[in-house]
């Protein structure tokens, strides 16, 4: 028939309706193809084939896709332990995003290039003219029901709140770093309190190894240092006394700072 292409577009002003009819004049059976694009709210997208295989989902909302990607990142421990806002890409993510490291706030922008409009539902139907032909056909289509918290989530995820969340994330990371530093300080002082002599010996040995690793040449005169008389001279006693005095004062200041003690 003429005018064989018919389009119907739903708009925000379209009233609710149970259906509509399309009529054309004709004198023979007609094969037609019906394409229906579901009006998802929020919109759903089809994933790039590589990302779909990686996340094991083919379609989803932006939130669903980001959640699936974040779960993959957590499962494979790709978040930078120091700079928590950065994600280290493994081989699969590198082939998809074409980079080795991504800032977490940049993930939505990266995903824009990897999501496509959902594919329409395709129904092939034959319009028959015979009186004995069936007039109705039924099909099952899965649709999502309204989410009661959707509106509140939209309000929460405004650009202003997103910026505020990024600031809070940075503050949380700073507090985590402070906690880790205080934890190391606590373990340091507990180890010293449990065994002062053994702690100092281990600490000096560790410092000596570090210094030797940083220098290309041996420290001091190796031949003299291997003899006990070298350490019995007066300078040795004075150096040891000064060293321990300075270390005790340094650790005292660090302990006061950690405990929030200020001298009046």
Q: At 71, which CATH number?
A: 1.10.245.10
Residue 156 lies in a domain: no
Q: Looking at 68-77, 179-188, 196-205, 210-219, which range is the least confident one?
A: 210-219
| Distance set, CA 20 to CA 6, 23, 133 (Å) | 12, 10, 21
Which domain covers residue 231, as residue numbers? Answer: 182-259
Total count of domains within the chain = 2
Residue 8 lies in a domain: no
- Angstrom distance (rounded) from CA 144 to CA 63: 15
Average pLDDT over residues 177-184: 88
Residue 7 lies in a domain: no
- Residues 108-158 have pLDDT tens digits of 888 888 998 888 889 888 888 776 666 777 888 877 776 666 666 666 656
Residue 15 lies in a domain: no
Residue 21 lies in a domain: no
- Residues 188-213 have pLDDT tens digits of 888 888 888 888 888 888 877 777 76
Question: Does the pLDDT value for residue 264 go beyond 50?
Answer: no
Residue 25 lies in a domain: no
Residue 221 lies in a domain: yes
- Number of Cβ within 10 Å of residue 142's Cβ equals 5
Last residue of a domain, one of 117, 133, 149: 117
| DSSP at 28 | S
Angle between helices 196-214 and 159-194 (to 10 degrees): 120
Give the chain's mean pLDDT.
80
Res. 48 pLDDT band, cuts 50 70 90:
very high
Residue 215 lies in a domain: yes
């Amino acid at each position: 028939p003429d005018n064989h292409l018919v389009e119907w577009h739903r708009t925000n002003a379209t009233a609710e309706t149970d259906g509509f009819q399309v009529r054309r004049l004709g004198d023979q059976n007609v094969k037609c193809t019906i394409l229906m694009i579901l009006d998802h709210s929020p919109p759903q997208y089809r994933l790039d084939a590589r990302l779909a295989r990686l996340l094991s989902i083919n379609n989803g909302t932006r939130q669903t896709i980001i959640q699936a990607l974040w779960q993959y990142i957590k499962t494979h421990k790709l978040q930078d332990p120091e700079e928590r806002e950065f994600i280290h890409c493994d081989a699969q993510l590198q082939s998809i995003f074409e980079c080795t490291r991504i800032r977490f706030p940049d993930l939505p922008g990266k995903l824009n290039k990897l999501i496509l409009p959902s594919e329409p539902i395709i129904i092939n139907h034959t319009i028959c003219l015979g009186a004995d032909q069936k007039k109705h056909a039924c099909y099952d289509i899965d649709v999502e029901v309204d989410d009661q918290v959707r509106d509140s989530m939209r309000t929460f995820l405004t650009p202003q709140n997103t910026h505020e969340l990024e600031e809070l994330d940075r503050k949380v990371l700073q507090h985590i770093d402070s906690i880790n530093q205080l934890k190391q300080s606590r373990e340091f002082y507990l180890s010293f309190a449990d065994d002062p002599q053994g702690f100092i010996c281990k600490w000096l040995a560790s410092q000596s190894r570090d210094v030797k690793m940083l220098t290309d040449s041996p420290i001091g005169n190796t031949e003299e240092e291997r003899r006990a008389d070298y350490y019995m001279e007066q300078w040795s006693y004075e150096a040891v006394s000064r060293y321990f005095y300075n270390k005790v004062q340094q650790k005292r200041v660090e302990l006061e700072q950690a405990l929030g003690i200020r001298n009046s």
